[in-house]
């Protein structure tokens, strides 16, 4: 049930990220560094482009009925918004007890791209994984503040 609640949140993030991308808004440092890592490596850049193209071609909407991520820059701006936002707290209906499974917003952005052949290659890259660790650490600091 709470996974369904993630859909509207992600739709908002994805739409806001499109505007941020069009306005060329700045990214936080670890996300800007991720962009640089990808753009500086021609093979990695091609795999990232292919990952998002293949994912979008497979399905224009995610299982949560959110729009697909258009491309790498759209993903970066979506990620940028997520890591500057606190996750929502969901309850199990009238009981007001904390909900069990809470979907991870970044994972929801990457479900389809990661499941492509190019996505497997991208996320097998140690530089990408090291940079995601830095991004998640940045988010952790934000969440602790």
Q: What pLDDT, on a 0 to 100 scale, did the predictor assign at position 106?
A: 83
Residue 133 scores a pLDDT above 90: yes
Q: Across residues 102-129, what is the average pLDDT?
A: 87
Query: Quick one: what percent of the chain has pLDDT higher than 90?
Result: 48
pLDDT for residue 25:
87
pLDDT reading at 139 higher than 70: yes
Q: Count how many domains the chain has.
A: 1
Distance CA 48, CA 53 (A): 9
Cβ atoms within 10 A of the Cβ of 131, count? Answer: 19
Please check the confidence at residue 41 and state whether its pLDDT lies above 90. Answer: yes
Alpha-carbon 13 to chain mean position = 9
pLDDT tens digits, residue range 80-94?
999 998 776 655 566
Range of the domain at 18: 2-144
What is the phi-psi region of residue 116: left when phi exceeds 0, alpha when psi lies from -120 to 50, beta otherwise? beta
- Which pTM does this prediction carry? 0.81
CB atoms within 10 A of CB 26: 10
């Amino acid at each position: 049930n709470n996974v369904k609640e993630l859909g509207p949140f992600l739709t908002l993030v994805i739409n806001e990220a499109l505007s941020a991308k069009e306005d060329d808004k700045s990214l936080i440092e670890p996300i800007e560094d991720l962009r640089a890592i990808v753009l500086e490596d021609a093979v990695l850049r091609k795999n990232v482009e292919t990952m998002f193209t293949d994912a979008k071609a497979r399905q224009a909407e995610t299982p949560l009925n959110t729009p697909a991520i258009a491309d790498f820059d759209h993903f970066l701006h979506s990620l940028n918004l997520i890591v500057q936002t606190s996750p929502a707290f969901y309850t199990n209906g009238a009981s007001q007890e904390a909900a069990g499974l809470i979907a991870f917003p970044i994972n929801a952005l990457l479900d389809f791209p990661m499941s492509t052949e190019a996505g497997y290659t991208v996320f097998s890259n140690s530089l990408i994984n090291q940079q995601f660790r830095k991004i998640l650490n940045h988010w952790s600091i934000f969440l602790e503040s």
